[in-house]
Structure 1
Amino acid sequence: MKPVPLLFAAALVVYGVARRKRIGRGEWVLGGIVFVAAVLYGTEVVHPPSLQHLIKDAGTHLGKWTYLLVGALAFLETGAFVGLIAPGEFTILVGGVVAGQGTIDLFALIAIVWACAVAGDMTSYYMGRRLGRGFMERHGPRVKITHERLEQVEGFFDRHGGKAILIGRFVGLVRAIAPFLAGSSKMPLRQFIPYDVVGAGLWGTTFVLLGYIFWQSFDKVANYAEKGALALGIVISLAFGIYTAVKWLRVESNRDNAVRWIEGQPLLRPLLPLARRVKAPLVFAWNRLTPGRLGLELTTLFMTGGIGLFVFFGYWHIFQTRTTTVGDQRAMKIAQDLNDGTLVAISKVVTTLGALPVTGSVAIAIALGLLARLRVAEALAVASGMALTVWAVHWAKDAVDRPRPDHPLVSSMDQSYPSGHSAYAIIYIVAAIVIGRMYPSWKGRAGLVGAAIALVALIGATRIYLRAHYFSDVIGGYGLACGIFSLTGIVALVVTHLRQNEAAT
């Protein structure tokens, strides 16, 4: 006898009885099939094939095509509402399992899932802006988007606002149509993108890693399951109990009753002061995900920092097995084809703008300007961000120990990854953003940030053109600096907000 399948069959019966008025004929048929299968397996009447062998065979047959399959379904889930019929988590889990077998690269898979999920959301967003809610009402029933389900998602949007895009990534129904509704409701693109990129990154990374870790630990999991199947069933029951408790505690009167009951228990009463102390920072962090200038800025910084650090460590991971990438080779070939004495002379001048003496001076000037305006937290964010970037660049160079390209056109010292000039040049973008914040009424701040981005890109291009760095060195330097400055910016925003609240009270 196998207790877990029998426990599952019993839970299925309880669920069916509890929701008998809401379950359709098709669900009853499917539930009946699953119930019979669970009973037959639990009583050992039938013996299904080995799950481990099935997974291993799937990984062998899919191979590199896993990238295409997982990426396409991650895109189509929201880009074509496929998620309403077949949620994408399963496919992404399978991709993580294949990565765990060593057939494909883990970092490359996460990057593909992340990019394709965002691309699908953007497609759905623009469809929503162009077609509107009426299109969904007319054609939604074809893909199981009924009027009731549409109202359910809209109610979720009304309650949670912008963070519905982020946390909705983990709710199947919301994830499938939230980008379309965001577009049809005319949510500004600058608000939609940060929430969406952060949500897609967390969602994709979570399920890829779950699949990867599952396969890496498959033997142990299978062994524990065989030895303690009843314990596994108890864990599942506890998880269901926790879900039910959370749902019950959402009602304010239930929470009040729970607090009164705890106050009457001598052993549990000391936990209440601790819970109240922890509640304030948790509520603050949760509320910061809501729309508004602070929430949007924090989410944007999380997006920028997350992408930057992912790119930086992703390249680091690649260099564990190879010296150069295809992009490096192509960039060097283009630089060689464009080799010209005049361009070399110009590049040598431009590249000095990314040197530490120049960029460090810019950081000091910006920090002093902020201090003069009594914006201490932001000044410390700029200064500490620059200092940490300098330290991190030298630390990473020693840790990765990647050799420089052959025959550089300028003198170059130490190792190649990441590019220090590229990392330090991010201070120009930081300076443009700071100036824009100090003069919020200035209409040219978008142009200033755009010009700073162009300058940073130009400095990076000169490092490749002068054969001082590879393409991946430059991109890795950008990612590292963006991650560090985003982290210091997050700290500055939170500290400033807390100080303003204290002053107001």
Structure 2
Amino acid sequence: MAPPLPGPLTHLAPLLGHYGYWAVAAVVFVEDFGIPAPGETILIAAGIYAGAGRLNIVVVAVLAFVAAVAGDNVGYLIGRSGGRPFVHRWGRYVFLTPDRFHRAEEFFARNGGKIVTVARFIEGLRQVNGIIAGTSGMRWRRFLAFNALGAALWVGLWVTLAYQAGTHITALYDEVTRYQLYALITLGVVAAALIGRHLLRRQHQT
């Protein structure tokens, strides 16, 4: 039986339950050429499942790595062949406005190849990394090398952390349940204090 996934990962349980490894590969793949998809989230969820014995961690890691590299290369091909006109025309459908694209391209140009590696860890830049590399004219072999390194680091980090969490999922849930009431009380007190301070300020202003 699969472990319960915490918080925002819960909605991915049916997807992983029905499609398993292919869900991980497909979601990571499409996210990496600009389509809004929870690639990083499903990778973490799959790592937790693997830690609980539901999936094979090696297969999860290999498929996620291949999908990440392949997805970014599709993005690179889109950027290289379609260029800026393509991005400006269709980018808004994946929340990539001309202004956002321009800022990302400037950032990319300043930092060169190393940004391809760390872009994997930056939300927003991860999804358009390949496209920007293509439009900026970066050589494909150079992009591929940095991209593969970034994918290996990204997959390795999240799979390892999630796998460790999955192997201790029962203990983690016990701790969360134990302190959940105290956390809610604390949040309630903080919220009340902020509201009270806001009301006092309004009284002083009037």
**TM-score bucket of the superposed structures, by smaller chain:** 0.7 to 0.9
Aligned to 1:381: none
Does residue 160 of structure 1 match 2:115? no
SS at match of 1:141: helix
* Residues 181-211 of structure 1 deviation map (CA, whole Å, 9 limit, x = unaligned): 1111110122111110010111122222232
CA distance in 2, matches of 1:201, 1:232: 38
CA distance in 1, matches of 2:98, 2:83: 15
Query: Which residue among 177, 182, 188 is the counterpart of 1:226?
Result: 177
Does residue 58 of structure 1 match 2:13? yes
* Residues 148-174 of structure 1 deviation map (CA, whole Å, 9 limit, x = unaligned): 211221132133211111111011211
Does residue 210 of structure 1 match 2:161? yes
CA pair 233-119 structure 1, distance change in 2 beyond 3 A:
farther
CA contact (8 A) 1:59 1:101 kept: no
Aligned to 2:75: 124
CA distance in 1, matches of 2:23, 2:16: 12
Which amino acid in 1 is paired with 2:22? L
CA contact (8 A) 2:79 2:135 kept: yes
Aligned to 1:266: none
CA pair 146-60 structure 1, distance change in 2 beyond 3 A:
closer
Shift of 1:61: 6.9
CA distance in 2, matches of 1:221, 1:90: 18
CA distance in 2, matches of 1:190, 1:51: 39
Query: Which residue among 15, 30, 50 is the counterpart of 1:76?
Result: 30
Shift of 1:221: 1.8
SS at match of 1:86: coil
CA contact (8 A) 1:133 1:181 kept: no
CA distance in 2, matches of 1:145, 1:213: 35
Does residue 195 of structure 1 match 2:146? yes
Aligned to 1:241: none
CA contact (8 A) 2:84 2:135 kept: yes
CA distance in 1, matches of 2:108, 2:143: 13
**Higher radius of gyration, 1 or 2:** 1
Shift of 1:117: 0.6
Which amino acid in 2 is paired with 1:58? A
CA contact (8 A) 2:5 2:13 kept: no
Aligned to 1:101: 52
Which amino acid in 1 is paired with 2:24? V
Shift of 1:99: 1.2
Shift of 1:228: 4.0
> Which TM-score applies when normalising by structure 2?
0.76
Which amino acid in 2 is paired with 1:183? G
Does residue 134 of structure 1 match 2:88? no
CA distance in 2, matches of 1:233, 1:75: 41
Instruction: Kindly tell me the number of residue pairs found equivalent between the two proteins.
Output: 179
SS at match of 2:54: coil
CA pair 113-209 structure 1, distance change in 2 beyond 3 A:
same
CA pair 207-188 structure 1, distance change in 2 beyond 3 A:
same
Aligned to 2:192: none
CA pair 222-233 structure 1, distance change in 2 beyond 3 A:
farther
Which amino acid in 1 is paired with 2:101? L
CA contact (8 A) 1:140 1:146 kept: yes
CA distance in 2, matches of 1:133, 1:149: 12
Aligned to 1:146: 97
CA distance in 2, matches of 1:107, 1:128: 32
CA pair 60-90 structure 1, distance change in 2 beyond 3 A:
closer
SS at match of 1:172: coil
Aligned to 1:469: none
The percent identity for this pair of structures is 32
CA distance in 1, matches of 2:66, 2:157: 15
CA contact (8 A) 2:27 2:38 kept: no
1:36-435 pair list within 5 angstroms: 58=13, 62=17, 65-79=19-33, 81-82=34-35, 85-229=36-180
CA distance in 2, matches of 1:219, 1:60: 22
CA distance in 1, matches of 2:137, 2:127: 18
CA distance in 1, matches of 2:179, 2:17: 33
CA distance in 1, matches of 2:78, 2:23: 23
CA contact (8 A) 1:93 1:207 kept: yes
After the TM superposition, which segments of 4 or more aligned residues of structure 1 sit over 6 Å from their partners?
231-234
Which amino acid in 1 is paired with 2:48? V
Which amino acid in 2 is paired with 1:110? A
* Residues 300-321 of structure 1 deviation map (CA, whole Å, 9 limit, x = unaligned): xxxxxxxxxxxxxxxxxxxxxx
Which amino acid in 1 is paired with 2:84? R
Superposition RMSD on alpha carbons, in Å? 2.8
CA pair 60-123 structure 1, distance change in 2 beyond 3 A:
closer
